Amino acid sequence: MSFFHRKAFWAFAYLMSITSFANAQDLNKKVAGIAINYDENNVPDYQLPELLISENGDKITSREEWFNKRRPEILSLFKTEQFGLFPEKPKLNFNVFENDGSAFNNKASRTQVRLFFTEDTTKIKADLLIYLPKKSKGPVPLLLKIGFSPNSNAVDDPELKEGMMWTREGERVPASQGRAFKPFDVEKFLDNGIGVATIYYGDIEPDYPAGFKNGIRGHYLEEGEDYPAPNEWGTISAWSWGLSYAMDYLVTNDHIDSKKVALYGISRLGKTVLWAGAIDQRFGMVIASCSGEGGAAISRRQYGETIHHMVHPNRYFYQFSGRRAKYSFDPNSSPIDSHMLLSLIAPRPLMLQTGDTDYWSDPKGEFDAAVAVEPVYELLGAEGLQTKTWPAAEKPILKDLGYYMHAGGHGSLPSDNDVFIDFLKMHFINK
Ligand code: GCU
């Protein structure tokens, strides 16, 4: 099917499904013409798919059965039904173009690495910017942040060369002309013995429907294809695949403790780090901020954003496998839900950070998923949240699973970093 035919098909699927949900919800609040439920009383009854019963009905009672049988089943479902199948990564090819930089008043060493994703090194490539605390002796834990800005805008370091950025309309502009975000507080992590690396998601694939033409998915299209097949990768798989390629480099760097690399991303990149942690078990921790629908929030709740809104042809269909659209009609017909995505990270530390007024991303739905995944953490000898009571804002729960809801809206606040650092220290430094 061509890119444009597929868009037409989805548009039709949507028209059909809009009518089936609209009656039950507040018709005054719509996104893409689709009603939104913000009332807990209208959350339908639902049953989550079983985590610890395999497809042939066997109970999963041991670590071996989890890793050899059930986990591969769940991973395979997420590949085809949610994020899309992706190709094998190529052999690592990189160039360290700075290795003796110094930043933040000599607090950090700075390394910059160009990762080449294709044989032709003029094509798809991403820069990995790495700061390590100079004071630390021996390999250090690292926070690997995938972000919306090129590295030169992601941090406050005047010595960086200005990067190029994609607009959501598909233009490539100098970073200073693009959308601006607050620079990340690298120093706070360095002061706690934790390195920070950043990578720009647009270098892997630009974030707009036809972005594949300038991104890694376009590079892998077969002769005669003009869009990935319905079970193949959306951009979230592409960004995650890129993170896994970045990890191929990180394991070669002796100054980094590669067993202690924590992924961090916000929003669509919160969804991305969950999926990257699922497909690459070398990542030792995941911190997902406001990942919402398609991330940590239970789709069956139909609160805030739903599958239906998410994969609308005028919205974010391109971030997912084409097959996700078929669950817009009825999320209960899906063999998966977000608690199963979280289970793919178990027993590794996983922090879900949300905001109490970020209703669109359904903070309660993220908490419910964390509660639901607890049996898998326990089976694997790790600690779940150990409560079924949704905590108030500003009250972090930090076990192997972590949940923290700041008072406020979408994204991470600077004060959230203190909670992330507590979680990182708890698992990577004080253990
Ligand atoms: C939209 C989208 C969300 C996504 C967010 C973001 O709001 O509906 O699912 O998480 O964008 O990435 O900022």
CA of 267 to the centre of ligand 1 (A): 6
Mean pLDDT in residue range 23-35: 69
The continuous run of DSSP H or E covering 197 comes out as strand 195-200
What is the best residue among 168, 271, 305 to mutate for testing ligand 1's pocket, by most ligand atoms within 8 Å of CB?
305
**364-388, pLDDT tens digit by residue?**
999 999 999 999 999 999 999 999 9
Q: What is the DSSP letter of 49?
A: P
Atom nearest to 293 CA in ligand 1: 9
Q: How far is CA 6 from the centre of its chain?
A: 25
Q: Which of 268, 290, 307, 410 is the best mutation target for the ligand 1 pocket, counting ligand atoms within 8 Å of the beta carbon and taking the most?
A: 268
The per-residue pLDDT for 8 is 45
Q: How confident is the model at residue 1 (pLDDT cuts 50, 70, 90)?
A: very low
CB–CB of 403/393 below 8 Å?
Answer: no
Number of Cβ within a 10 Å radius of residue 171: 12
Q: What is the pLDDT of residues 130-174, one digit of tens each?
A: 999 999 988 999 999 999 999 999 999 999 999 999 998 899 999
Active site residue 410: yes
Ramachandran sector of residue 165 (left: φ over 0; alpha: ψ -120 to 50; beta: rest): beta
Residues 103-113 have pLDDT tens digits of: 999 999 999 99
Q: 415, 412, 420, 288: which is closest to 341 by C-alpha?
A: 288
User: Which numbered atom of ligand 1 lies nearest the CA of 266?
Assistant: 12
How many CB atoms are located within 10 Å of the residue 141 CB?
Answer: 24
Identity of the amino acid at 376: V
Residue 25 has pLDDT above 70, yes or no: no
d(CA 394, CA 223): 52
Range in 153-157, 179-183, 330-334, 339-343 with the lowest mean pLDDT: 179-183
- Element (DSSP H or E) covering residue 111: strand 108-116
Rounded distance, CA 90 to CA 278, Å? 19
Nearest in space to 353 (alpha carbons), one of 289, 418, 401: 289
Dihedral sign (CA 298, 301, 305, 309): positive
Please report, for the chain, the start and end positions of each structural domain, with discontinuous segments joined by +: 1-80+284-431, 84-258
Determine whether the shortest distance from the Cβ of 293 to ligand 1 is under 6 A.
yes
One of 54, 244, 255, 410 is an active-site residue; which one?
Answer: 410
Under the banding of pLDDT at 50, 70 and 90, the label for residue 51 is very high
- Mean pLDDT over 311-330 rounds to 96
Q: Is the CB of 305 under 6 A from ligand 1?
A: yes
Mean pLDDT of the chain: 93
Instruction: Indicate if the pLDDT at residue 6 is higher than 60.
Output: no
Q: Which atom of ligand 1 is nearest to the CA of 268?
A: 12
C-beta of 308 in contact with ligand 1 (< 6 A): no
Q: Tell me whether residue 406 is one of the annotated catalytic residues.
A: no
Q: How far is CA 65 from CA 8, 54, 95, 379, in A?
A: 43, 9, 41, 10
**Ligand 1 contact, 268 CB (< 6 A):** yes
Cα(310) to centroid(ligand 1), Å: 8
CA distance 263 to 81: 23
Q: Is 207 in the pocket of ligand 1 (CB under 6 A)?
A: no
DSSP string, 127-178: EEEEEEETT--S-EEEEEEEESS-HHHHB--TTSPP-EEE-TTS-EEEGGGS
In this predicted structure, what is the pLDDT of residue 28? 57
Decide: residue 68, CB within 10 A, 0-12 exposed, 13-18 middle, 19+ buried.
exposed
- Strand segments, DSSP code E, in 136-192 are 140-147, 164-166, 172-174
Lowest mean pLDDT among 15-24, 268-277, 384-393: 15-24
If one residue of 267, 290, 352 were mutated to test the ligand 1 pocket, choosing by the most ligand atoms within 8 A of its CB, it would be 267
267 CB under 6 A from ligand 1?
Answer: yes
Please give the Cα distance from 188 to 405 (Å, whole number).
Answer: 20
With CA atoms as reference, report the closest residue to 56 among 69, 71, 46, 75. 69
Q: What sign results for the dihedral spanned by CA atoms 289, 290, 294, 300? A: positive
> What predicted TM-score, i.e. pTM, was given to this entire model?
0.94
Q: Ligand 1 centre from 282 Cα, in Å?
A: 27
Sheet of strand 256-266: strand arrangement: 94-103, 108-116, 125-133, 195-200, 140-147, 256-266, 285-289, 350-355, 401-406, 397-398
Query: Which tens digits make up the pLDDT trace of 253-288?
Result: 999 999 999 999 999 999 999 999 999 999 999 999
**What proportion of the chain, given as a percentage, has pLDDT over 70?**
94
Q: Which helix (H) or strand (E) holds 110?
A: strand 108-116
Q: Can you read off the two tokens belonging to residue 58? A: 């066997």
**Phi and psi angles of residue 352, each rounded to the nearest 5 degrees, phi first:** -105, 115
How far is residue 261's CA from residue 106's CA, in Å, rounded to a whole number? 23
Segment 319-327 shows an average pLDDT of 97
